[in-house]
Structure 1
């Protein structure tokens, strides 16, 4: 079937369709009307006709259930009524008709990129969203931008510097003191450094930001999640990527976990691509062990998509150029936010043992993720690294 996806992002509540003669039309679910022009660009699109039998791509909308399908919902079984999402889905499509007014979410690195789209999408559906950002000025600007779309959005920004484990501890202590509920913790923040950098805690920056500090945050907010009253278990969604499959200098089935290679102390043992991929592998392995230790919390990792035009590549002109070249073939930020949102709000995932999702479907991560001995060793070593950082620099709350 011809791909009818549109590179121009659709507004909330709109969907794309195609007639048998190749003409693309746009559906406004709020007004229950269709039109030929793109709602933003006003462009009219006609695709080449397909060979063979032509079928009109009709979209059926169920007003009562607040969902749509390309099959007549009256002629399908209960199983068929479940919404089907894939690599072209976006976050707002998955959230359509969902009321999150009784939910609270914390999203790390949410002032831009995928994190911003996740926060924006949740807030537009009533969720109380806390943007956990290093730069409060950018975080407040992100909140203001969301309020221009939804004036009464329940959204705020708090400082969270993942380069400082003491900063993470202060964030957690403030959250606990306010006794806020926590239904969703989305570990989205990430950096991709081409040069070697150490944090104030003495760890390689990508290892700490992408993995160590965020797992420390999850452990610190555990008690807040456990006491949150809800008809569903709280959820932790960790944003990883397919790069977790690269060679891992610090993880092997023979030597186990080598902490000096997880976080190299000098540039002589630093390869930025291997270090980035390894930090993302650690995140998935942590999720696997977290699920075993705390089954009352639904924890999962996911891949948002390849070559996303986000701030991840902000420090490298080379990677920005690669993203620009691959832009026609990559996902929009709204599409990249789809799989995290799918894991965060759908009921189907709660019944599945899957640890890693890709394109709103079950994925197959590295075999290291299923090695219980390795994940348990990483869990123990992670605690030791955090404790070591605080012994070197005791926490002082001013």
Structure 2
């Protein structure tokens, strides 16, 4: 270090930190050079370490390289809508003889779906998200769409779904997002959705069964099942069964079934320990909205386990996921009491984007559709 001071280079805390008056730049073919603004000279070697560097990897997803009128290269970050002459890959340069580096990432309670997906390019992957126009479903669809996936927003309300699609496209005009109608209160609608998707001849890499209903009054669907049970569970099971061939032809692929910790506070067995189907679709006099929701979520967990047992040998995995407790979403919209309760706890719960992380395709060694999950069983 004394030699560096003698050479006129100030000492700094980091070996790679540039002295005052120096700037790091890059060429079009990825080599790094260093500009000395004091002497108005450039050189290939780092002024302190003497090492040569090159840029590692492609531009991050959402970035493009352009050339201005003077022939100088600049970079456009479409996701954050900013322009810079500084190559974003300069933070990831490697020496001519790079050392093996750990790619392990650590996540905590503040991690968002966008954090999980940072640096991932999901181009070519197809993801279906049910209930994608609001809440965690929207944040999940948005996050994977902003990283290149083709996203099918499977929603009952086309007006709200198209508005959600517009919000995503406003962020990233190249996002591949399509709205398709899916009413989980109707088996016929599930069949129509599956037929319409198959007609597109697309692969299916991730199916996220997210849509849910909670707190509504007792009512039957057109298929004569209690509304909560069919929307939250039966129709998702039917949807998976209709699309399982598409999943098996797109391996590695997976199903994510959104459950809830509330599954722990109920049972679906009678006093003798046998499965009681009457509990799953109760009569009006036996109906309690919260209990119906809990039972549907317990069925989600059991279904996901069995689905994984059957399909994992074929390259399709299934997981159930608890996204977080009492997030402020549209889920409790059906009764003022739930809306009040969820509003009171809102300051102490996670955001939609943080809860959406559980559905986000990622890998600590690349983007190979591994999903960070918090199992509820």
Fold in common (TM above 0.5): yes
Rate the CA distance shift 1:245–1:104 in 2: closer, same or farther, 3 A: same
Is 1:181 paired with 2:203?
yes
SS of structure 1 residue aligned to 2:285: helix
Match of 1:130 among 148, 152, 173: 152
1:184-215 Cα offsets, whole Å, 9 max, x none, are 10000001024211111111111001100011
> Which structure 2 residues correspond to residues 273-284 of structure 1 after superposition, within 5 A?
273-284=290-301
TM score, norm. by length of structure 2: 0.70
TM score, norm. by length of structure 1: 0.67
Partners of 1:190 and 1:76 in 2: CA distance? 45
Question: Contact 2:113–2:354 at 8 Å: present in 1 too?
Answer: yes
Partners of 1:215 and 1:63 in 2: CA distance? 45
Question: Contact 1:179–1:224 at 8 Å: present in 2 too?
Answer: no
> Which structure 2 residues correspond to residues 76-87 of structure 1 after superposition, within 5 A?
78=102, 81-87=103-109
Partners of 2:357 and 2:271 in 1: CA distance? 34
Match of 2:311 among 286, 290, 294: 294
Which of the two has higher C-alpha Rg?
2
Match of 1:217 among 228, 239, 248: 239
Q: Which residue of 1 aligns with 2:51?
A: none
Deviation at 1:173, TM superposition (A): 1.3
Q: Which residue of 2 aligns with 1:285?
A: 302
1:326-351 Cα offsets, whole Å, 9 max, x none, are 1111011101101121xx33368x99
Partners of 2:127 and 2:195 in 1: CA distance? 17
1:349-378 Cα offsets, whole Å, 9 max, x none, are x99xxxxx9xx565452xxxxxxxxxxxxx
Is 1:258 paired with 2:280?
no
Partners of 1:251 and 1:98 in 2: CA distance? 44
Partners of 1:205 and 1:166 in 2: CA distance? 15
1:159-180 Cα offsets, whole Å, 9 max, x none, are 0000000110111112122221
Is 1:159 paired with 2:181?
yes
Q: Which residue of 1 aligns with 2:16?
A: none
Question: Contact 1:86–1:361 at 8 Å: present in 2 too?
Answer: no
Match of 2:130 among 100, 108, 119: 108
SS of structure 2 residue aligned to 1:308: coil
Q: Which residue of 2 aligns with 1:203?
A: 225
Unaligned runs of 5+ in 1: 1-29, 32-38, 40-60, 66-73, 352-356, 366-398
Match of 1:339 among 343, 358, 362: 358
1:309-341 Cα offsets, whole Å, 9 max, x none, are 111011111111111111111011101101121
Deviation at 1:256, TM superposition (A): 2.8
Q: Which residue of 2 aligns with 1:168?
A: 190
Deviation at 1:86, TM superposition (A): 2.3
1:21-67 Cα offsets, whole Å, 9 max, x none, are xxxxxxxxx99xxxxxxx9xxxxxxxxxxxxxxxxxxxxx99449xx
Question: Contact 2:203–2:247 at 8 Å: present in 1 too?
Answer: yes
SS of structure 1 residue aligned to 2:147: coil
Question: Contact 2:121–2:147 at 8 Å: present in 1 too?
Answer: yes
Moved over 4 A (4+): 74-77
Unaligned runs of 5+ in 2: 1-61, 64-79, 81-88
Rate the CA distance shift 1:361–1:155 in 2: closer, same or farther, 3 A: closer
